[in-house]
Chains A and B, each alone.
Chain A
Amino acid sequence: MIKIAQLSCGNDYSGIQKEIEKAAETVGAKIVFPDVDIDFDDAIEDFGFNPVSPGLKLMVARAKALADKTFEADAVLIATCFRCAEGALIRNELRRYLQKHTKLPVVMYSFTENTKASVLLIRMEALVTIVKRKDLLARERQVGITMGLDSGSATTKAVIMQDNQIVSKFWHPTLGVLESAEKAVAEALKLAKMEFKDIESIGTTGYGRYILGDHYKAKLIQEEVTVNSKGAVFLANKQKGEATILDIGGMDNKAVTVMDGIPDSFTMGGICAGASGRFLETTAKRLGLEIAEFGELAAKGELHKVPMNSYCTVFGIQGLVSALAEGYSKEDVAAAACRSVAEQIYQQQLQEIDVRFPVIQVGGTSLLKGLVRAVGDILKTEPVVPENSQYIGAVGGALLCSGFI
């Protein structure tokens, strides 16, 4: 059983420990707490940051036990209360400390009393996958004929690959998980001039992965953090070395750092719609534009011209509408909306990982040129947007499941 070491403060008093353990249990892992000496002074001295809260001191001592290998674990969950400044500082510095001194995959989370196991599930599952399937994740070439299915919150994608090449791809809006997948699969097969029996292996990912995996008898059913990362480095031809994969989704955002295509740290947002693709979709609607048209327009506008007083989907968009009334162009307003999303992701999410270059921007929103430009402006780099970047999940699924042929 995979042992996930929990370094946390406030979890007991927030009443969420049961949810953490439930999420771990669901993915076949066990939460463990590193044994430490009752005298924390050495650990604090070694770490170099002396927090006032005893709970945080204990976290430091537990991290040192992992770094010193006096306690064995396979992965680490670092969690503190949402809004705790001291906790946020320690959380981030402990993550760096562990990444410097160990090879353990780390995931961080700031919780509220409303945190449920379902929110933690994908994070736990990704930790377990990284530990359990390291060999599979090292796969760099696709073999045989395989199909990847990515059942996302907004769209369902199907990709058929043969001998390391994409032979067909198709996407359909996610209306019903199965219904949308059936349409995408049928079209992908038609485009590939193949029949279902020709497919040697299927891999599913995304929110509907279990339903699709069960229906299509998939050989690989895997969460999207690891699958998307694999698809991203494959498509960007960056399978060796370091990279950061940024996937601004319709419902949540993922930022994953990888080494040789294997994630070692990741963060997922999902608290605010203002930092997701949904904000841009809503802005586009308010401007009377199709989303693709919005992306093109945003790329032509000035990023810093329109002042934004709020990142909120309600108040931020209200501000943008006011800007239109004040005479700003649609281009500048669309650019400001992209800047708003990029800024919020930078401020709230990318702070949780050490951004490594190149930055590979993927997912449907990577097709919005204005957003890619805004991300590049903030990160002072030009994000790599690979061809078929919206199909990373399906490509990753097709690539990885070929390991089961």
Chain B
Amino acid sequence: MKVFIYPPNSMILQDLVERFGHTPLALAKEIERRVNDPELDSPPMNITEIDVKVGLKYAAIEVPSGVRGRLAMFGPLIDEAEAAIIVNNFPSTFGCMACARTNELTIYLIKQKRVPTLELDYPTNEEEVEDFIARIKGFLEGLK
């Protein structure tokens, strides 16, 4: 199944989804596609005005451009999602360094899809890490 992960650039979540036989819907591949695309020239992310307009599908014109541009990357991944893992309360540097408003809308959009979703808090000690991994493992195995 295609599993959307939040934060979408988490390598740990991406790895876990792959290990348990699913396809992660993650930002890394989307960014890789963009930064390697020779047709575009808007570094560092190769977001263009067209992308920001694509973001209008997810947020209205009065929403700041940075939010719409970021949603242009997140939105299509959410559209494809058949399941999702959401990690809450993570440190700033664990997720993608950008806007909290986009994060709020991203979580809302996932919940609106009504796909199987696992929501859990970022672990802060070893015991919590073990529980964190076990719950993700159980969730992903249950999707089979």
Contacts and interface: CB of A to CB of B under 8 A. Distances in A.
Interface residues of B, number: 32
Interface string B5-40: 000000000000000000000000000000000000
B69 to A, nearest CB: 3
A16 B66 CA distance: 10
A84 interface: yes
B65 A113 contact: yes
B49 A13 contact: no
A54 B102 CA distance: 11
Contacts of B97: 54-55, 58
A9 B44 contact: no
A82 B65 contact: yes
A15 B98 contact: no
B62 interface: yes
B65 A17 contact: no
A9 B92 contact: no
A113 B98 contact: no
A141 to B, nearest CB: 47
Contacts of A57: 92
A81 B65 contact: yes
A274 to B, nearest CB: 18
Interface of A: 9-18, 38-40, 51-58, 80-84, 86-87, 111-114
Given A14-B52, A53-B99, A53-B100, A84 B45 contact: no
Interface of B: 41-49, 51-53, 62-70, 73, 92-93, 95-102
Given A16-B65, A17-B45, 15 more contacts: A9-B99, A10-B67, A12-B44, A12-B98, A13-B66, A13-B67, A13-B68, A13-B98, A40-B92, A55-B97, A55-B98, A58-B97, A83-B62, A84-B64, A113-B65
A54 B49 contact: no
Nearest to B95: A54
Contacts of B41: 18
B132 to A, nearest CB: 21
A14 B93 contact: no
A156 to B, nearest CB: 34
Top 9 nearest A-B pairs (CB, nearest first) are: A10-B66, A81-B64, A13-B69, A15-B47, A52-B100, A113-B52, A54-B92, A14-B65, A53-B100
Given A15-B42, A54-B97, A113-B49, A84 B92 contact: no
A10 B44 contact: no
Contact of A12 (B45, B53, B93, B95): B45
Contacts of B73: 13
A52 B90 CA distance: 12
Contacts of B62: 83
B15 to A, nearest CB: 21
18 contacts: A9-B98, A9-B99, A13-B52, A13-B98, A13-B99, A15-B49, A16-B65, A18-B41, A53-B98, A53-B99, A53-B100, A54-B96, A81-B65, A81-B99, A82-B65, A84-B66, A86-B100, A86-B101
Nearest to A51: B100
Contacts of A56: 99
Given A81-B65, A81-B67, A112-B65, A15 B51 contact: yes
Most chain A CB atoms below 10 A, which of B42, B67, B99: B99
Given A54-B93, A58-B97, A86-B100, A18 B66 contact: no
Contacts of A84: 64, 66-67, 99, 101
B55 to A, nearest CB: 9
Given A12-B44, A14-B47, A53 B101 contact: yes
A368 B92 CA distance: 51
B137 to A, nearest CB: 28
* Most chain A beta carbons < 10 A, residue from B49, B66, B70, B99: B66
Nearest to B98: A55
A114 B67 contact: no
A104 B99 CA distance: 27
A111 B65 contact: yes
Contact of B69 (A52, A86, A113): A113
Contacts of B51: 15
A85 to B, nearest CB: 9
B133 to A, nearest CB: 23
A54 B98 contact: yes
B17 to A, nearest CB: 23
Contacts of B68: 13, 113
Contacts of B102: 13
Nearest to A61: B92
Given A52-B100, A84-B99, A12 B92 contact: no
